[in-house]
Amino acid sequence: MSFHDTSNPTGGVPMERVIDRPIPEHHLLERILSRENMEWAWKRVRANKGAPGVDDITIDQFPDHCRPHWAGIRESLATGTYLPQPVLRVEIPKPTGGTRPLGIPTVLDRLSFLGFVFKGTRILWSDKAYKKFRRRVRKYTGRSWFVSMQ
């Protein structure tokens, strides 16, 4: 933001004009953290169910726990200070015998992941590019969803 002194066109007292250059990342971040997008992500987290993470908060307990703290959570997500909780490691049985490790994130971490990665990816891509990529995924895998991790 910069301030420039300008003259009042009618004479009189000088005015200050504020020149803001929009920062695209801020607009994108606002769209990702919008109520609509986070509700979209919550519906998917709730539908997937799953076990609680290291904080021991279940899907059913999450709304009552999160509502009073949402402003602070949203602020930490917006400013980049949010730190995900450690993943709960459990061993699950393999069909062939033995076990394999499985990591269970907290409900809040699942919500923020879905809000940022899936919807954020859709916002970043043009609708045409997104639909083209989705058609390719469906053609080659038979599925209409994908996960992109880097």
pLDDT in tens, 70-95: 999 988 888 888 888 999 999 999 99
Dihedral sign for Cα atoms in the order 37, 38, 43, 44: positive
Number of domains in the chain: 1
Which residues of the chain are modeled with pLDDT < 50? 1-4, 149-150
Indicate whether 97 belongs to any domain.
yes
Indicate whether 5 belongs to any domain.
no
Indicate whether 119 belongs to any domain.
yes
pLDDT at 17: 52
Q: Mean of the per-residue pLDDT values for the chain?
A: 77
State the DSSP code for 39.
Answer: H
% of the chain surpassing 70 pLDDT? 64
pLDDT at 113: 86
Indicate whether 98 belongs to any domain.
yes
H helix runs in the chain, sequence order: 24-32, 35-48, 62-66, 70-79, 107-113, 120-124, 127-141
Indicate whether 147 belongs to any domain.
no
pLDDT at 143: 65
State the DSSP code for 60.
Answer: T
Are the C-beta atoms of 31 and 37 separated by less than 8 Å? yes
Q: Which string of b and e fits 13-40 if b means at least 16 CB within 10 Å? A: eeeeeeeeeeeeeeeebeebbeeebbee
pLDDT at 28: 73
Indicate whether 1 belongs to any domain.
no
pLDDT at 72: 92
State the DSSP code for 144.
Answer: S
Indicate whether 9 belongs to any domain.
no
Phi, psi at 8, each rounded to 5°: -75, 130
Indicate whether 14 belongs to any domain.
no
Distance CA 117, CA 134 (A): 15
Q: Is the whole-model pTM more than 0.95?
A: no
Dihedral sign for Cα atoms in the order 50, 56, 61, 65: negative
Phi, psi at 11, each rounded to 5°: 90, -155
**Host domain of residue 122:** 23-141
